[in-house]
Structure 1
Amino acid sequence: MRVAMATAAKRAGRRNEDFTGAVPGAAVLVDGAGIPGSESTCRHGVAWYAGHLGGSLLGLLALAPDRGLTALLAEAVTHVTDLHRDTCDVADPISPSATVAVLRIADGLAEYLVLGDCVLVLGRAGAEPLVVRDLREVVISGSYEPALRAAGEGSDEYRRVLGELRSHRNGPGGFWVAKDDPRAADEAVTGSCPVAALTAAALLSNGASRVEDRFRLAAWPAVLAGLESDGPGALIERVRQAEALHSVAPDDATVAYCTDLAGS
Structure 2
Amino acid sequence: MRVTMTSVPARPGRVNEDFVGAVPTAAVVIDGAGGFAGADAVCRHGVTWYAHRLGGTLLGLLPLAQGRSLPALLAEAIEQVTDEHRDTCDVADPISPSATVAILRVSGGIVDHLVLGDSVLVLDRTDAAPLVVSDPREVVVSRSYLPALQAVAEGSDEHRRILRDLRANRNRRGGFWVAKDDPRAADEAVTGRCPISELTGAVLLSNGASRLVDRFRLADWPAVLAVLASHGPAEIIHRVRGAEARAAVAADDATIAHCTDLRDD
TM-score range, shorter chain: over 0.9
- By how many angstroms is 1:166 displaced? 1.8
1:250 aligns with 2:251: yes
1:70 is aligned to: 71
Secondary structure of 1:209 counterpart: helix
2:110 is aligned to: 109
Of residues 177-186 and 156-165 in structure 1, the stretch that sits farther from structure 2 once superposed is 156-165
Which residue identity lines up with residue 17 of structure 1 in the other structure?
E
**How far apart in 2 are the matches of 1:226 and 1:50?**
28
- By how many angstroms is 1:102 displaced? 0.2
1:6 aligns with 2:6: yes
**How far apart in 2 are the matches of 1:7 and 1:57?**
18
**How far apart in 2 are the matches of 1:136 and 1:191?**
18
**How far apart in 2 are the matches of 1:100 and 1:38?**
21
Spell out, residue by residue over 1:154-198, the C-alpha distance to the aligned partner (whole angstroms, 9 max, x if none): 455434433332221111111011001101101100111111010
**How far apart in 1 are the matches of 2:250 and 2:256?**
19
**How far apart in 2 are the matches of 1:224 and 1:177?**
27
**How far apart in 2 are the matches of 1:167 and 1:176?**
11
Which residue identity lines up with residue 97 of structure 2 in the other structure?
P
1:121 is aligned to: 122
Which residue identity lines up with residue 25 of structure 1 in the other structure?
T
1:146 is aligned to: 147
- By how many angstroms is 1:91 displaced? 1.2
Of residues 191-200 and 145-154 in structure 1, the stretch that sits farther from structure 2 once superposed is 145-154
Spell out, residue by residue over 1:82-107, the C-alpha distance to the aligned partner (whole angstroms, 9 max, x if none): 11111111111111110000000112
1:197 is aligned to: 198
State whether residues 144 and 165 of structure 1, in contact with CA within 8 Å, keep that contact through their aligned partners in structure 2. yes
2:216 is aligned to: 215
Spell out, residue by residue over 1:21-78, the C-alpha distance to the aligned partner (whole angstroms, 9 max, x if none): 1111110010011131211111111111100100000010011111110000000001
Spell out, residue by residue over 1:106-148, the C-alpha distance to the aligned partner (whole angstroms, 9 max, x if none): 1221100000010000001231101000000011101211222
Which residue identity lines up with residue 147 of structure 2 in the other structure?
P
1:16 is aligned to: 16
1:25 is aligned to: 25
Secondary structure of 1:163 counterpart: helix
Secondary structure of 1:128 counterpart: coil
Which residue identity lines up with residue 31 of structure 2 in the other structure?
D
Secondary structure of 2:21 counterpart: strand
Mapping of residues 50-69 of structure 1, within 5 Å: 50-69=51-70
- Unaligned regions of 5+ residues in structure 2, if any? none
1:39 is aligned to: 40
**How far apart in 2 are the matches of 1:46 and 1:156?**
22
Identity %: 67
Structure 1: which 4+ aligned runs deviate by more than 4 Å?
Answer: 154-157
Provide the aligned length of Structure 1 versus Structure 2: 264
Which residue identity lines up with residue 26 of structure 2 in the other structure?
A
State whether residues 121 and 201 of structure 1, in contact with CA within 8 Å, keep that contact through their aligned partners in structure 2. yes
State whether residues 35 and 95 of structure 1, in contact with CA within 8 Å, keep that contact through their aligned partners in structure 2. no
2:207 is aligned to: 206
Secondary structure of 1:261 counterpart: coil
Mapping of residues 149-188 of structure 1, within 5 Å: 149-155=150-156, 157-188=158-189
Of residues 37-46 and 3-12 in structure 1, the stretch that sits farther from structure 2 once superposed is 37-46
1:260 is aligned to: 261
Which residue identity lines up with residue 13 of structure 1 in the other structure?
G
1:133 aligns with 2:134: yes
State whether residues 25 and 263 of structure 2, in contact with CA within 8 Å, keep that contact through their aligned partners in structure 1. no
Which residue identity lines up with residue 29 of structure 1 in the other structure?
V
Secondary structure of 2:191 counterpart: strand
State whether residues 196 and 262 of structure 1, in contact with CA within 8 Å, keep that contact through their aligned partners in structure 2. no
**How far apart in 2 are the matches of 1:201 and 1:143?**
32
TM-score, structure 2 as length reference: 0.96
